[in-house]
Structure 1
Amino acid sequence: MNIQKPSLQFRNSLSVRKSTRCIVLHHADAEKFSVYQCHACHLNNGWAGIGYHYYITKDGTIWEGRPDNTVGAHASGGNSDSIGICFEGDYDVERTMPDAQKKAGKELVAHLKAKYGISTVKKHKDVTPTTCPGSFFPFDEIAGAKANGVIHVTAVSDKVPVQAPGSIAELQAECNRQGFSAQKVDNIAGPITLAGCPMIKKGASGNITRWLQRKLNSLGFDCGNVDGDFGVKTKAAVMAYQKAKGLVADGIVGPKTWSKLLGLS
């Protein structure tokens, strides 16, 4: 079994866990969602970075998240003594987990049981009120894996790390998460990144608006609080930016405005 070690940058230092009593299994609640997207999403939540210790994609790749001896941010009320494993997919909707992913999950659970001398495996919903890891998640099969196996950790050097909030990578990951694109999260803006940016205007809300607000504030166009709500002050900042860049000052962030913000024109 091989574990891939992505180059993730955490916002601050992580605390070492004092005890390890169980493993908690999760699903990503998204049919397509990479470890890099997950890291960007959790950074955007204000966390140090990805809250899970391991992330398993549908092709069976096991990715290291937080070091598995540190406190996670994956199960409120149960982070202090648990290891969190997240599986790519939405198993409230998807009825079958790919064999490769299931096999990887069993191998990882078996390894962690042996490493920490534990036997308890829980669903996220056993710790926190939620439906995670989904009604179709093959919990019994994965949780029942016997302690055995040897692992090898491989550093991934050809991946560009997701940067702190406000980066191009964060915007790319968020556009992917919301279904506007399926682009490579490489922190490099190009035509594909531009095509994946949705038109937003007054009344919009969410993480893409937060990205916009941070960007405009950093450029000296005051949006006020970065709250994710495209209100009057954000519209005024957009219009001021558009006017400064020689664009039609309509307060609507469309392709021409995104192109300027991304440094493409």
Structure 2
Amino acid sequence: MAAKIYRKKYPSKQKSNSISKWVIRFFVFVFIFFVLLGIYKFRDGFLYYLGFKTDKYSHELSADERKLADIRIYEVLHKHDNKAIGFDVSEYQSEIDWEQTYHIDESFELSFVFIRATAGKNKTDKRFKENWEASKKRQLIRGAYHYYRPNENSIEQAENFIKNVKLEKGDLPPVLDIEKLPRKQSIDSLKVGLRRWLKKVEKHYKVKPIIYSGESYYTDFLREEFSEYPLWIANYNFWRNDLESDWQFWQFTEKAQITGVQGMVDLNIFNGDKNKLLLKCMR
């Protein structure tokens, strides 16, 4: 009688491979879930960085969102209560009651305002003239900015700004607002256009313009070649509490509420007190 041969049984290779595939699929699913969650949570930041939104934050806040925004704003302002605080407006804020724009939460004085003057080669902000004159009567330190359109001629854009903005003694230097990536040109061509705008405007007003941009945009595309220009940086990171040393202005929120202004407003902190800010003004 032949002896029985016993063989040790191992799990089938097919079954093992099947388990491995399910494990991989599970982790891929979890990864995709958190990526999508992050994109949704920070969707406004992503869209702002990519230049797809011009109003940055258009919908109304829920009660919880409003509470969080107010807590954040108060904490930042309280930490920088020795610095000058200001805001920026455009036609999107509609008519402003400038005589009401004195404080945030009745505790923090508003000292300056940036007002959109022009955009591209031919647009003038519909409320620039009235905002420009009213802010002077209100005795705010005022500044004018140009919204740069990458796919339009830079010299024509500079001429549009110069034609519409008459800076006076005590006004802040002109501002170039660059937020969008070009669709019809390279980044190098964009930089050439920005340089031309800056040079022409500087030659006209006899002062170096300020560059406004998001921190990521500036770091990725502009820092190396435009570091000699004063900076106004937008960064809404909930966890950031301080300005970098090379930032003249920090736009730290787009969700502020100011008496006299409809809807939500951008708030800015100058890297110094009001007396230091006055030294930066036109002479």
Give me the TM-score of the superposition, normalised by structure 1.
Answer: 0.28
More helix by share: 2
- Give the greater-gyration-radius structure (CA): 2
TM-score (norm 2): 0.26
Structure with the higher fraction of residues in strand conformation:
2
